[in-house]
Amino acid sequence: MSNPQSKPLASLSLDLDNQWSYMKIHGDPGWENFPSYLDTVVPRFLSFLDDLELKITVFIVGQDAALTKNQKALRSIALAGHEIGNHSFNHESWLHLYSPEEIENELAMAEDHLEKATGQRPKGFRGPGFSLSKSVLTILAHRGYQYDASTFPTFLGPLARAYYFMTTKLTPEEKEQRKALFGGVKDGFQPLKRYQWLLSNHRLVEIPVTTMPLFKVPIHFSYILYLACFSPPIALLYFRIALLLCRLTRTEPSLLLHPLDFLDLNDVPELGFFPAMKLPAGKKQQILRRALTMMKNQFNVVPMGIHAQAKGRQNGKQSKNPKFGMPIIEMG
């Protein structure tokens, strides 16, 4: 067995979006009652990760941590040794439209409830729907965060958003509010490798959600499962090619899971509009197991906090991030 320390580094995370948060973004009625599948999905993915001997980062929504009914499930994530990340309090993909005061309050509320529920105070953040702004980054740095993980460098964001809107009954005003969901074409020009934002007297590590090097098409596991609906062998071949390109370009992949990767229509029929929900949960786990085993064989897979702290080949080269025009330092 090869030494994990001799392998290139990679990180893995899970965005623990709950049923109500998907319904909220989708514009479905009833989300205000906070329907939840956490008691089902949390034991399922914890057992799956334990079998693979993986420790990851789980980004949790503060509103879920504030509800007593969810706290046992959330506490079990931390007790299993996984890192807790902040996924905002209200899970609104228009976070970039918030005022600085609203952002501060959003982060603080989530931090307090996450710490009470899990025993961990988060040091990493991912915006819902990859929502991000200069104000968010600045406030994260001022609050002592180690890293942000809200960038998704792909050209396909507008297509994903268009598909999502086709499945909704959102008003024009609600669509306008959500118009940055999944990002725009220009996000495809953002870096794939870790870098540091230069924010006045602070620096904040950015760990992008990795897309396929050169082509910038998605390779996160929900997308792999979507491809598997047509052909599991082709989906796994696609993933194998992506990992090969990561190694050839010396890209340290940071990939993410979602709760729906472990659920199907029998578990949550209300979310049947999502791709791959017709794929049985057991079949999803088989495909995920093969893909993650492939990833483990080639990379040392760690939580994102460890990835953020790892030494990179900083070459001192400054460049401009195309989204915010702020200086960054590439890390390798």
Secondary structure E strands in the chain: 9-16, 57-60, 83-86, 124-125, 147-148, 195-199, 202-206, 254-257, 300-302, 318-320, 327-330
State which residues form the domain around 303: 9-330
Q: Is the pLDDT of residue 159 over 50?
A: yes
- 109: CATH: 3.20.20.370
CA distance 10 to 36: 30
CA distance 321 to 65: 34
**Cα torsion angle, 169, 172, 173, 177, sign:** positive
Q: What is the mean pLDDT of the chain?
A: 92
CA distance 60 to 150: 14
> What is the share, in percent, of the chain residues with pLDDT greater than 70?
90
Any domain includes 181: yes
Any domain includes 4: no
Q: Is the pLDDT of residue 75 over 50?
A: yes
Structure confidence by residue, pLDDT tens digits, 16-43: 999 999 999 888 999 999 999 999 999 9
Percent helix, strand and coil across the chain, each to the nearest 5: 45, 15, 40
Select from 251, 271, 253 the least CA-distant residue to 263: 271
What total of structural domains would you count in the chain?
A: 1
Q: Is the pLDDT of residue 165 over 80?
A: no
Any domain includes 232: yes
When pLDDT is averaged across residues 88-105 and rounded to a whole number, the result is: 95
When pLDDT is averaged across residues 132-142 and rounded to a whole number, the result is: 96
Q: Is the pLDDT of residue 244 over 80?
A: yes
The pTM of this model reads 0.92
Tokens of 189: 């020009």
Strand duo 195-199 + 202-206: pairing: antiparallel
Residue 1: band (very low, low, confident or very high) from pLDDT cuts 50, 70, 90: very low
